[in-house]
Structure 1
Amino acid sequence: MKFGVFIAATALAAAVAGAAIASPTQEEAAQLGKTLTPVGAIKAGNANGTIPAWDGGICTPPAGYKPRNGIGGFPYVDPYANEKPLFSITAQNMEKYGDELDEGVKVLFKRYPNYRMDVYPTHRSACMPDWVYENTIKNVMNPKTVSGGLGLEGAHAQVPFPIPKDGYEAMWNANMKYTYPWIQGDLSFLLVDSAGNRTVLNVEKTEEYLPYWDEKSAALKSDQYYWILKSTNTQPAAEVGTASLMALYMRPDIKDNIAWSYIPGQRRVRLAPEFKYDTVSSNSGGMLLYDEINGFYGEMDKYDFKLMGRKDMYVQYNAYRTEMATAEQLGTKNFENPDYARWELHRVWVVQADLKPGQRHVEKRKVFYIDEDSWNILAYYGLDQAGKVYHYMQLPLWQEYEKPSPWNGNYILYDFNKGAWASGSQQGNPDFKQTGFYKVKPFGSNHFAPEEMAGSGLR
């Protein structure tokens, strides 16, 4: 594997439980906003010009943007709709591009000779509000990881580690990726089994609050969540009102992440401690593990996370076409319909997570590819105990220019043991008049109280 720019992995002190990783040097920090973007990406393009320089991204909506709900979200105007593929990668020529392909997509090529990746010009469209950049640069020396990387302190309304020193810092960046603090949207979940049968499993309303990204609030304390999500099923009829509530903390080594569930037939809210690690999410048709949500979800205590460096990779980017496809258009047998996928060459951070001795999980290794421009996880694969690729996830990204915010609140997940695949969050799906995620006013003080689920979930 050839890496572009390599950043040395964990310093010796980080091996000691409770030790904090060293801050960037003054010389390193001074490059933010100069040779590096404000969030730590290399501002220049690559040597052969296949990745351009970052010029600020798409920060305002293009002409003709008229969201379905009049507020934000879908349908988006695809700013690159008229572009044609530069070339296609197939099973026949994949070796030529092997250094820029992850192990998961290589399995797709080997299993399904008709799989195809259409490669388009690269556009570094990621843009965030100016205050995110200002806070990240101004406060770059403040954040620290603690408890061997398991907790985060000193960070608020900023990318915590634009110059990461180890895998834990890179993963905290991914966990804390910028999102507007108050958002609401709808998601649908598609399952395509090994026979090619297509099933829309459910549709849900999702509400999220991220106090970490409320720049006007005080920095969070260890007993305050940085992200909380409430989802309520709206389809099918048998599942209407079923709800879940999940909260994540910056110091899970002190205060454990927590979840609740509500089932209308039982008429009670219960704690759901099983909503973590390799427990399977019920909304995914028996495929998605809880710690695969958004590429990675929850605590990092089961694995050793190593920062492997940066490299150029083909990833799904500027995926407006993917997200506005219907289940019928996207849901072909064996894999996502290549006609609706857009692949581009981007620089990513590579993080490898190996299961710690004595820990149990169905995956002994996870490998993550994290966008340097946005800190969103763009792809991930997990190895089973035999060392074979078990799960492979693509997380297509697009720029939500009305916020502005890079976003990949979706997934395409392949289970190579079952020969099936699933897609979560077809947020532009016109079948259900979905709107995707949009800004909302701050939620009420009790909106995310567990007992509130019982009132909102009755049918």
Structure 2
Amino acid sequence: MNWRRQMKLLLTLTAAGVMALVGTQVNAAPSAADAARLGKTLTPLGAEQAGSKDGEIPEWTGGLCQAPAGYKPSSADGGAPYVNPFANEKPLFSISAANVDKYADRLDDGQKELFRRYPKTYRMEVYPTHRTACFPDWVYENTIKRVMSPRLVGDGPGLEDAHAQIPFPIPATGQEALYNFFARYFPAYYRGDYEAWLVDSAGDKMLSTHGVLQYYIDYWDNSKAKSNQMYALSNVHVGPPSQAGEMDMRIQWKRMDEREPTAWFYTPGQRRVRLAPEFTYDTVVTSNSGIFLWDETNGFDGKMDRFDFKLVGKKELYIPYNVYKYLNTPVDQLLQKNHVNPDNLRYELHRVWVVEATLKAGARHVDSKKVFYLDEDSWDMVGYEGFDHADKLVRVLWFPVWQAYDVPAPMNNNQLIYDFVKQNWALGSFGVGEGFHKRGPLPANYFTADALATRGVQ
């Protein structure tokens, strides 16, 4: 469907669907006037369709929905390697320690800290901005048609009356914005080969984990009328040798106020599956060399009951975006002492939602504050900052974004992690082999403890 026809369909859905629901609004729903902006002044998922006043951020015109010429994935289901549609572009300028003050208002605290710590080597190559985010038409249709239904309930909170849609395209609270991130689009069945590498303060490199992930995104199964889960995943460790054969499995429920995220762990030596309630909150992720916490996975994971979440608003920031060169660079060329090789990372100016979380009085957590940066076009997490109880920045994560035009959807399942206490950094979830791609359905009982045990014995 071309963009003109797509917009006509969206406007029809806005009039027929949104206005029909005006009389049954619940507290989380936007006004009918705001909802009617979807597909007009707002994109179908809630971003500002117009460009920035200075023209550096262009208008969104539908995104990169088709594979460029020369795309030849290694898997029949798509995925890597992604041909770079912007290979001939040159940087507009570089940000270095010498000129960082000029661009300070468009940098987050983590980037400023890296310039302060490594002024001789850290820099950012800034390129023209391309708003490449594109999703299947039915994702747009569902989001607009069902915009009045979703609501957050209970302490956690839980999500109700939402399925196969961005639940809050016009968010009113920090929790609503974070739920848009939780519910960002993925194909219902997804597979990924990944590696995580640690670079210590001396510059030594170590493979911290290598695994294979299988996802079932129940929430985005459009063949169903409703869902109980946000997602289920199974992770098989294939390396390094000390981890080979270990497996873990996790289910994130929509009603997190009623059901805690559930995790299981399989140990080859014991040949048994056990529940893993410690896979939550501020428990250290040991499989990734302890460089981040469980609730920092993908930027944020689990319940939101220990923090108060404030929707700060939007900001224009230079973020890693359309990073095809980075994806196609051998990992050895990316791993430098102190930080990623700046020759291979592309930054663009984009608008992001900023959400700030502060620890509730009496709640326990090693962080006192968390700051999240969400891409307005995709609801992908693009940046995260964690602060300790002395209000000191201790950890930052960035999630380089690229448009997987074979899906189509923007993806951010790579991580750049910096631990400013240990002075280590890590490159995590770096696609290897066939990378991340769609796959066919899995057996109905695949995400059960019994099935996990059976796979372990095999």
Check conservation: 2:95, 2:123, Cα contact below 8 A. yes
1:12-411 alignment runs, 5 A limit: 21-113=27-119, 114-147=121-154, 150-220=157-227, 224-411=228-415
* Unmatched 5+ stretches in structure 1: 1-19
Distance (Å, rounded) in 2 between the aligned partners of 1:418 and 1:409: 24
The equivalent residue for 2:451 is: 452
Distance (Å, rounded) in 1 between the aligned partners of 2:341 and 2:278: 34
Distance (Å, rounded) in 1 between the aligned partners of 2:220 and 2:57: 30
Distance (Å, rounded) in 1 between the aligned partners of 2:299 and 2:111: 16
The residue matched to 1:291 in structure 2 has which SS? Answer: helix
Distance (Å, rounded) in 1 between the aligned partners of 2:209 and 2:384: 24
Which deviations, in whole Å up to 9, do the C-alpha atoms of 1:57-91 show, x marking residues without a partner?
A: 11111111111123211111011111110001111
Check conservation: 2:122, 2:342, Cα contact below 8 A. yes
Check conservation: 1:378, 1:396, Cα contact below 8 A. yes
Check conservation: 1:189, 1:283, Cα contact below 8 A. no
Distance (Å, rounded) in 2 between the aligned partners of 1:321 and 1:359: 43
Question: What is the Cα deviation at residue 149 of structure 1?
Answer: 6.3
Distance (Å, rounded) in 2 between the aligned partners of 1:150 and 1:227: 16
Tell me how many residue pairs correspond in the alignment.
432
The residue matched to 2:448 in structure 1 has which SS? Answer: coil
The residue matched to 1:142 in structure 2 has which SS? Answer: coil
Check conservation: 1:324, 1:426, Cα contact below 8 A. no
Change (3 A) 1:21 1:377: farther
Letter in 1 for 2:451: E
Check conservation: 1:192, 1:420, Cα contact below 8 A. yes
Letter in 2 for 1:241: G
Check conservation: 2:155, 2:257, Cα contact below 8 A. no
Question: What is the Cα deviation at residue 216 of structure 1?
Answer: 1.5
Which deviations, in whole Å up to 9, do the C-alpha atoms of 1:86-106 show, x marking residues without a partner?
A: 001111111111111101111
Check conservation: 2:314, 2:351, Cα contact below 8 A. yes
Letter in 2 for 1:34: K
Distance (Å, rounded) in 2 between the aligned partners of 1:450 and 1:94: 51
Distance (Å, rounded) in 1 between the aligned partners of 2:209 and 2:75: 21
The residue matched to 1:72 in structure 2 has which SS? Answer: coil
Letter in 1 for 2:425: W
The residue matched to 1:435 in structure 2 has which SS? Answer: strand
Distance (Å, rounded) in 2 between the aligned partners of 1:205 and 1:81: 30
Of 231-240 and 271-280, the range deviating more from structure 2: 231-240
Which deviations, in whole Å up to 9, do the C-alpha atoms of 1:217-247 show, x marking residues without a partner?
A: 0212xxx322001000112233221000011
Letter in 2 for 1:234: V
Distance (Å, rounded) in 2 between the aligned partners of 1:235 and 1:67: 24
Distance (Å, rounded) in 2 between the aligned partners of 1:298 and 1:81: 38
Distance (Å, rounded) in 2 between the aligned partners of 1:247 and 1:158: 19
Question: What is the Cα deviation at residue 148 of structure 1?
Answer: 5.2
Of 448-457 and 164-173, the range deviating more from structure 2: 448-457
Check conservation: 2:190, 2:215, Cα contact below 8 A. yes
Distance (Å, rounded) in 2 between the aligned partners of 1:360 and 1:148: 16
Distance (Å, rounded) in 2 between the aligned partners of 1:340 and 1:360: 39
Cα RMSD (Å) of the superposition? 1.1
Distance (Å, rounded) in 2 between the aligned partners of 1:283 and 1:319: 26
Distance (Å, rounded) in 1 between the aligned partners of 2:204 and 2:212: 25
Check conservation: 1:241, 1:458, Cα contact below 8 A. no
The equivalent residue for 1:8 is: none
Letter in 1 for 2:160: E
Identity %: 50
Question: What is the Cα deviation at residue 449 of structure 1?
Answer: 1.1
Question: What is the Cα deviation at residue 171 of structure 1?
Answer: 0.3
Question: What is the Cα deviation at residue 202 of structure 1?
Answer: 2.1
The residue matched to 1:136 in structure 2 has which SS? Answer: helix
Letter in 1 for 2:196: F
Letter in 2 for 1:179: F
Distance (Å, rounded) in 1 between the aligned partners of 2:236 and 2:108: 35
The residue matched to 1:188 in structure 2 has which SS? Answer: strand
Distance (Å, rounded) in 2 between the aligned partners of 1:391 and 1:146: 31
Letter in 2 for 1:27: A
